[in-house]
Structure 1
Amino acid sequence: MAEQLSRIAKETKADFTRASNLIAAWSASLLRQARTHFNDELAASRDVREEVVEFMQKMENSMGKLGGDLKSQTRHVEAILREVRLDLEGLDGKRKRDKQLLESQVSANESRTVSAMAVSEEVVRGLEHVTNVVDLSLQSDSISIALELQDFVERKQTPLVGV
């Protein structure tokens, strides 16, 4: 029995040793897998961090370039605006000059029209006077012809003595 107990103890000890070795191997394998997974995660994190840094640098470069382009375009648009403003001011000045010239021409035409109407009225009065003079002259000629006709008729009716 002591032998049997010793053998059972040895078998139990061997089972415990085997179980301990199995648990140790399993724990070591689990730790190795955890370390590998952790190292993979660290590498992936480092890669992501590098990609983020690279992306940020690219974005900063792009933003700088975009800012420069924006400033350049802003200056260009401002220059165009100045040109348009100057052109509009020039056109406004020309429009005002044209308006003043047109108003002065209209005023001059109005004064010429008024003077032409006054002259026309004087011509009409002169023509009326000439018409009256011609009418009087025609009446005078009519009277003269009527008198000559009456004189001719009276002479015809009067017997001539000594003929």
Structure 2
Amino acid sequence: MDDSPLAILAILAVSALAVGALIVFNRLIGGWQDVRFEDASLPSQRLEEDVVGFRAGEGVIAADGLAALVMEEGEARLGLVLARSSRCVTRVVRPGEIARLEADGARFHIHFNDFTLPRVTIDLDDASAQGWGERMRRFVRQSDTQMQGEGHARTS
């Protein structure tokens, strides 16, 4: 094999072209498409696949199609599904796991005491906002203790 700089440059160029062609081909056949929720079927499916024993009930999609709330049958847990590029992030919320819930019309700011997912903002349509706001409030932590900051310091 020839170790000349020109041969090495040619090999690198051909390799770069091949990788570029694979990327373009993948894009053309539909790879790497961003996830958008049209209805509650995909978020429900993701929750049932990711969470042991989760049986999806009624669901609602955020106005931008990038988030969904799915109530479990029996309403014991609330499923949260977030679209992140071509993947979905799922989370199950049990009663008391929402640290704070702020409502601004149909926009909800959900705060968790979890550094991996500290806050989620979901915009619902006006028709769904009130009912789902009431449902989410059942999962807010009820505490006699005043929390300061993001839940790191407590005062009695």
TM-score (norm 2): 0.23
Pick the structure with greater CA Rg.
1
TM-score (norm 1): 0.22
Bigger helix fraction: 1
